[in-house]
A and B are shown apart, each in its own frame.
Chain A
Amino acid sequence: MTFFFSAWPWYISGPLIGLMVPLLLLLGNKTFGISANLRHACAILLPKNVKPSFFRYDWRGEKWNLMFAGGLILGGLLAGLIFANPEPTRLSAGAIGSLQDLGVRLSPGLVPPELLDLRRPVVWLILSLSGLLVGFGTRYGGGCTSGHAITGLSTLQFPSLVATVSFFAGGILSANILLPLLLK
């Protein structure tokens, strides 16, 4: 029973993530990726008269991707709420030390409560800035972690290698410099 509640080691969950690539190819020749859903959502939601040409296409042909995103919500409900891990993430000692510098405690759950406390203006700033950068960057870069780092790298595509290296360069910068600056 603990298997359902506890976190899984990387050597079990990593291969399961990798299997998404052949699974979607076998199901219907689909390229594993998630961020295109943000584009589909814009295509659905924007009124016709203010819709940039980038969002004028038939999103109905991409319904599978929207269903996949719906599944992600269900998966979160199952694994993150019903079968939620009661233990905090088993971080390395070094990572626990860095948390203190950020004024964040290691609590059970996937996101520290300090960063979800909407009474703090800085939390609004972090969440909105993060969303804005992710949304803009993922469309500009033509994919997110799943589309580039998993699908693109495993099918040996050079653009995905460039994108993945850039993801990490940006992430290292923001986690080490930008975030500590904002939380100070």
Chain B
Amino acid sequence: MISSTPTRTESQAPASTLSLLAYLLAGTFFGVVLVKSEAASWYRIQEMFHFQSFHMYGLIGSAVLTGMLTTGLLRHFRARSLDGQAIKIQHKAPGLPRYVFGGLTFGLGWGLAGVCPGPIFTLLGSGIWAMLIVLLFALIGTWLYGVLRNRLPH
């Protein structure tokens, strides 16, 4: 049995317009950080995959460490989200082949144009129209997965 998606939130009540605005702002903030951290820089991704600088490793490492500490704190204090729900961290679906093969495929694409999904949108916003080609083909790739999904090992 293939679960529909490991990160899907079991949806609650539809988000209000105000909270949607909050997500827009959060996305804007993240987009700014993607540019200013140079995680959206093709040069930095190449440098990382050639092990020529500590920059990207420091960036990802300190991000993971911060995420670990802060989600640990949320758990410790049994924090609730703004809409009053108990905070729950979604678990990724079990399985191994999907993470190995899917991960490898993703990595091959990432190392070419130097973009993962976040920077596709951010670079588009910064006026790099050629990213429309990447986005279009990323949608085709997603659709292809939807078509072939039942024939792939998960």
A27 and B146 contacting across the interface, CB-CB below 8 Å? no
Total A-B residue contacts, Cβ distance less than 8 Å: 540
The B-contacting residues of A in range 114-171, CB under 8 angstroms, are 115-116, 118, 123-124, 126-157, 159-160, 162-171
* Chain B interface residue number, banded: 35 or more
Say yes or no: B81 contacts A15, CB within 8 Å. no
One digit per residue, 1 when the CB lies within 8 angstroms of any chain B CB and 0 when it does not, for chain A 25-65 equals: 11111110111111101100110000011110110111111
Q: Which of B100-116 contact A (CB under 8 A)?
A: 100-116
A94 surroundings in chain B (CB, below 8 A): 47, 50, 52-53
Whether B38 and A27, one on each chain, are in contact in the complex, defined by CB atoms closer than 8 angstroms, is no
B8 to chain A, nearest CB (A): 7
Q: Is the CB of A136 within 8 A of B142?
A: yes
Say yes or no: B107 contacts A170, CB within 8 Å. yes
Most chain A Cβ neighbours within 10 Å, of B42, B66, B117: B117
State the main secondary structure of chain A at its contact with B: helix
Interface residues of A, count at CB 8 A: 132
Q: Given A14-B59, A28-B83, A115-B113, decide whether A23 and B104 contact each other with a Cβ distance below 8 A.
A: no
For the complex formed, measure the closest distance between the CB of B5 and the CB atoms of chain A, giving whole angstroms.
6
Tell whether, in the assembled complex, residue A131 and residue B33 are in contact, meaning their CB atoms are under 8 Å apart: no
User: Are B37 and A17 in contact, CB atoms less than 8 angstroms apart?
Assistant: yes
Cβ of A107 to closest chain B Cβ, rounded Å: 9
> Please, which residues of chain B bring their CB within 8 A of the CB of A134?
106, 109-110, 115-117, 120, 134, 138, 141
Q: Which residue of B7, B32, B81 contacts A143 across the interface (Cβ within 8 Å)? A: B7
* Residue pair B106, A89 in contact (C-beta under 8 Å): no
**Top-3 shortest CB links A-B:** A75-B31, A71-B27, A170-B107
Name the residue of chain B whose CB is nearest to the CB of A131. B137
- Asked whether A19 lies within 8 Å of B103 as measured between CB atoms, the reply is no
Chain A contacts for B12, CB-based, 8 A: 28-29, 61
Which of the residues B31, B106, B111, B137 comes within 8 Å of A141, measured between beta carbons?
B106
Residue of A nearest to B134 (CB): A131
Report 13 cross-chain contacts, Cβ distance below 8 Å, ordered by A residue. A14-B61, A19-B70, A26-B81, A110-B126, A112-B42, A134-B110, A140-B145, A150-B67, A166-B107, A168-B49, A174-B49, A174-B110, A179-B111
